[in-house]
Amino acid sequence: MANMNILIGFSVFIIGYSDGFIFSTSGARYAMYVWTYGFDISVPGCDENKFLTWDNHKNPECFTHTWDTKAKRDWLWSTCNMQGRNVNVIFLSDFHHVLKDAYNAGSCSGSSILNLRTAMAEGHEKVNGLKIYALFAVSDLQVSEQGLVKYVVYYNDHCAHSQAEKIDGVAINNEAYAGIKCTDDIPRKTYLTNLHNIKVEASKQVTGSLPVHYSISWHWGHCDTNVALENFTWNGKTANAAVHMIDIFDSIDVQVGYIIYPQISDRMKIAGYDYAGSVGKPIFATFYTEKDLPCQITFFPQSCTKGSHTESEMFRIFDQFDSHGIGNAKPCIHYFRGIYSSGANHNWPAHRG
């Protein structure tokens, strides 16, 4: 999954619980990524042609902040409340600098923190059961995200005036592991230790728990070139990387990188679907909707011989989880207004209430 913080700036009913993360497999409850910027059809001149071009460098005016005004947030909350396709977990970007400034100043005063408190309370009020995770995506081997968690802890312990104003968790999108997944043990163990530090930092919150979530690619625990490299010992346990990562975090999402079966379910199994279920960890299957290649990895409306690239087809795929053996997973949409709920194409309407 590319970091989209682009610079212009089942028939079976099961409930699991993991450190404050309630996960029900009954009904349509999804997760969704909300990066800082998304395509904005309401900007004059930002029509379907510019949408299909999908070039934030050529058309930066068409990509606006996803939640910095009440109108933009209302769009987001309405999307979460889409009947029958409700989103109850969002991984929300653009917390970093506001929280860092408050932490460094040792102060919760100022309009930026007030706006953040307002946004958190608003989301929790308008979307029943919504969990809002602060999304960080530095994506380096040092896992610099571990140093950002303390800002969320500070905000929750000192700035939030109520439970409704708190950030519900921390989500990490660090993809640096892809470059070392089949190397020797030392860099892999170091990476996992750095990931574990995220959990340690989150545990320092005094008022309530702070769950941590992680995004993995379906193949990180799999080595095509040398199967012998797949399992390695970390923290006293010998397993592949996906299993270690599931052990560290309270929940994970798997970037399946495909929009048709059986690839979707096959990749979920490779990524540790069965193991996550055995240890009671929530697991999501993440689907791309932004423009990308090859075309079969995303639902973006482009010419493609594999799959149908429409919102209705995406929902149809979601509805088949149970029949393809992954019924305890939940769908995760990547990402809001990119293209989901953008309204820039007749097959991708805006869900604005």
Concatenate the DSSP letters of all residues of 258-296 into one string.
-SSTTHHHHHHHHTTHHHHHHTT--EEEEEE-SS-SSGG
257 in helix, strand or coil?
coil
Q: Where are the alpha helices (DSSP H) in the chain?
A: 48-53, 70-80, 96-105, 111-126, 149-154, 185-202, 241-248, 263-270, 273-278, 311-318
Residue 29 has pLDDT above 50, yes or no: yes
Share of residues in the chain with pLDDT > 90 (%): 87
Q: Give the per-residue pLDDT at 27.
A: 52
pLDDT confidence bin for 353, thresholds 50/70/90: confident
pLDDT confidence bin for 6, thresholds 50/70/90: very low
CB-based contact 333:32 (threshold 8 Å): yes
pLDDT confidence bin for 28, thresholds 50/70/90: low
- For the chain, the structural domain boundaries read 15-334
pLDDT digits (tens, 9 = 90+) for 95-109: 999 999 999 999 999
DSSP summary character for residue 229 = G
Q: Is the domain defined by 15-334 classed in CATH 3.20.20?
A: yes
Backbone dihedral angles phi then psi of residue 212, each to the nearest 5 degrees:
-120, 140
pTM equals 0.92
CB atoms under 10 Å from CB of 20, counted, come to 13
Strands 237-239, 232-234: pairing is antiparallel
What's the mean pLDDT when you consider all of the chain? 92
CB atoms under 10 Å from CB of 232, counted, come to 18
| Angle made by CA atoms 105, 108, 109, in degrees to the nearest 5 | 95
CB-based contact 90:34 (threshold 8 Å): yes
pLDDT digits (tens, 9 = 90+) for 173-193: 999 999 999 988 999 999 999
Closest Cα partner for 20 from 122, 166, 215?
166
Q: Which helix (H) or strand (E) holds 90?
A: strand 86-92
Q: Give the per-residue pLDDT at 26.
A: 44
**For residue 90, how far is the Cα from the chain centroid?**
7
Residue 169 has pLDDT above 60, yes or no: yes
Q: Which residues of 243-259 are buried (b: 16+ CB within 10 A; e: fewer)?
A: bbbbbbbbbbbbbbbbb
Backbone dihedral angles phi then psi of residue 76, each to the nearest 5 degrees:
-65, -50
- Among the residue ranges 142-146, 267-271, 280-284, 304-308, the one predicted with the least confidence is 304-308
182 in helix, strand or coil?
coil
Q: Give the per-residue pLDDT at 1.
A: 58
What is the Cα gyration radius of the chain? Answer: 19
In this structure, the dihedral spanned by the alpha carbons of residues 91, 97, 98 and 104, taken in order and rounded to 10 degrees, is 130
The answer for residues whose C-beta is within 8 angstroms of residue 105's C-beta and 6 or more apart is none
Q: Give the per-residue pLDDT at 229.
A: 78
pLDDT digits (tens, 9 = 90+) for 61-80: 999 999 999 999 999 999 99
